């Protein structure tokens, strides 16, 4: 990168560019995918920011010197969102930018705050990685979590977002937040988010075995207002360490249900935790598809299957993981081996992200190479 720009960054911010730091910040959990691991490059430097005025000043330098930026929370995303695709970029660590306020209906947070600092039960949905992820990283790179069946996806629960782009500060509210939420930093540095707050009662969890997929689906759909409904086959359950299982099993976590009461933190790790734990344990190939509900009846039994019922923009669907097979089911793309935002976002939200990018970052300085936004 431009030597003058690096000099200026070192003068004004806390910057590290020793080999150990560059290596550490070239990695995120995405390297569990061999396809993503191959794309990883070392950054030129890592800049640690703690305050909004620092972000503002950084973005002036970014704009003047055409510096490429990869934003980072705690690097727990599994899609390579926080890895640089070019050595000509800097990683900007926002995990030290902390602070939040909370009222009856909302949580207002800086990006580096972590879920446990606010109180994990306060969030309408919580990622399985809540114990290590930042709120800014989840809003920028996450999608679903425990609670997303009842309360919707991240973009359904963010009320306001402030983002710094190469063309200045932008504050968005209402539906417009969808231009930035889950855009993985490709549209600027998120410095403030306002998220809907909810109240939860005690939750219970129950596992019910079935011999037929039809009965399992009927039962699952009877619980569409629960916090968690997962349909898993026997292969997946056994890989997770359960011995007495049905051919198909429905795990329901809900308020005032008749299930065994479990601490909230334990229940969270049920959401999608299966896929991550089993892939790491067995080193099997994995993929994911978001399926319309009628496709659930075609779930294959030759794979390990984990179907997490969820809602996005009011529509219920199954966020479905397939392990140790090549499923032939078609659904909406949620490609776990692609760094591209285009490969995991619904078309109406993707159009909003692309329009925003064209207006505020046409030179692709923000997390470059991760959002295809030019025609042709």
Ligand X SMILES: Cc1cc2nc3c(=O)[nH]c(=O)nc-3n(C[C@H](O)[C@H](O)[C@H](O)COP(=O)(O)OP(=O)(O)OC[C@H]3O[C@@H](n4cnc5c(N)ncnc54)[C@H](O)[C@@H]3O)c2cc1C
The residue ranges that bind ligand X (CB under 6 A) are 28-29, 70-78, 81-82, 94, 111, 127-129, 133-134, 136-138, 140-145, 184-185, 189-190, 271-272, 276, 367
For ligand X, the closer of residues 111 and 166 by Cβ is 111
β-pairing verdict for 304-312 and 315-323: antiparallel
For ligand X, the closer of residues 4 and 23 by Cβ is 23
For ligand X, the closer of residues 9 and 272 by Cβ is 272
For ligand X, the closer of residues 188 and 259 by Cβ is 188
* Contact (CB, 8 A) for 255 and 203: yes
For the bound state, the minimum distance from the C-beta of residue 80 to ligand X, rounded and expressed in Å, comes to: 8
d(CA 136, CA 141): 8
For ligand X, the closer of residues 29 and 356 by Cβ is 29
* Contact (CB, 8 A) for 159 and 195: yes
With tokens 């926002």, the residue in question is: 94
For the bound state, the minimum distance from the C-beta of residue 281 to ligand X, rounded and expressed in Å, comes to: 13
Q: In this structure, what is the dihedral angle of CA atoms 306, 312, 316, 321, given to the nearest 10 degrees?
A: -10
d(CA 319, CA 269): 16
3-state secondary structure of 14: strand
For the bound state, the minimum distance from the C-beta of residue 191 to ligand X, rounded and expressed in Å, comes to: 7
Question: Nearest CA to 47 among 78, 4, 81, 8?
Answer: 8
- Distance set, CA 335 to CA 113, 163, 281, 344, 374 (Å): 28, 26, 21, 6, 21
For the bound state, the minimum distance from the C-beta of residue 297 to ligand X, rounded and expressed in Å, comes to: 25
For the bound state, the minimum distance from the C-beta of residue 248 to ligand X, rounded and expressed in Å, comes to: 22
For ligand X, the closer of residues 193 and 291 by Cβ is 193
Question: Nearest CA to 266 among 228, 236, 322?
Answer: 228
For ligand X, the closer of residues 213 and 228 by Cβ is 228
d(CA 95, CA 112): 4
Q: How far apart are the first and last CA of the chain?
A: 27
For the bound state, the minimum distance from the C-beta of residue 159 to ligand X, rounded and expressed in Å, comes to: 17
Q: Which letter does DSSP use for residue 351 in this model?
A: H
* Contact (CB, 8 A) for 233 and 305: yes
For ligand X, the closer of residues 5 and 272 by Cβ is 272
Residue 89 in tokens = 């970029």
For the bound state, the minimum distance from the C-beta of residue 251 to ligand X, rounded and expressed in Å, comes to: 15
| Residue nearest to ligand X as judged by C-beta position | 137
For the bound state, the minimum distance from the C-beta of residue 189 to ligand X, rounded and expressed in Å, comes to: 5
d(CA 140, CA 158): 11
Taking every pair of Cα atoms in the chain, the longest distance, rounded to a whole number of angstroms, is 67
């Amino acid at each position: 990168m431009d030597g003058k720009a690096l000099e200026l960054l070192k003068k004004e911010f806390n910057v590290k560019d020793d080999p150990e730091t560059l290596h550490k910040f070239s990695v995120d959990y995405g390297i569990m995918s061999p396809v993503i691991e191959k794309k990883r490059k070392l950054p030129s430097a890592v800049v640690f920011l703690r305050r909004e005025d620092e972000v503002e000043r950084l973005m002036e330098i970014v704009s003047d010197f055409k510096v490429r930026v990869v934003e980072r929370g705690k690097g727990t995303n599994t899609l390579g969102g926080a890895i640089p695709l070019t050595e000509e970029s800097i990683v900007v660590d926002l995990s030290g930018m902390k602070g939040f306020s909370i009222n009856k209906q909302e949580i207002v947070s800086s990006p580096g705050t972590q879920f446990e600092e606010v109180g994990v039960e306060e969030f309408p949905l919580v990622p399985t990685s809540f114990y290590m992820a930042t709120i800014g990283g989840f809003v920028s790179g996450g999608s679903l979590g425990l609670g997303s069946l009842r309360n919707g996806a991240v973009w359904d629960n963010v009320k306001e977002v402030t983002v710094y782009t190469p063309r200045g500060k932008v504050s968005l509210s209402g539906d417009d937040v969808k231009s930035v939420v889950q855009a993985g930093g490709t549209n600027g540095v998120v410095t403030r988010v306002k998220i809907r707050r909810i109240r939860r009662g005690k939750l219970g969890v129950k596992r019910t075995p079935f011999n037929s997929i039809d009965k399992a689906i009927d039962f699952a759909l009877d619980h569409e207002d629960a916090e968690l409904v997962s349909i898993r086959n026997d292969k997946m359950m056994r890989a997770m360490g359960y011995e007495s299982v049905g051919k198909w099993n429905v795990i329901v976590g809900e308020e005032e249900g008749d299930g065994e009461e479990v601490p909230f933190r334990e229940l969270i790790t049920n959401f999608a935790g299966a896929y991550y734990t089993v892939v790491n344990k067995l080193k099997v190939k994995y993929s994911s598809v978001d399926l319309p509900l009628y496709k659930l009846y075609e779930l294959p039994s030759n794979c390990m299957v984990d179907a997490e019922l969820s809602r996005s923009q009011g529509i219920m669907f199954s966020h479905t993981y397939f392990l140790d097979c090549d499923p032939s089911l078609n659904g909406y793309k949620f490609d776990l081996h692609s760094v591209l935002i285009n490969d995991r976002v619904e078309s109406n939200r993707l159009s909003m992200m692309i329009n925003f990018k064209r207006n505020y970052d046409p030179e692709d300085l923000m997390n470059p190479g991760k959002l295809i936004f030019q025609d042709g």
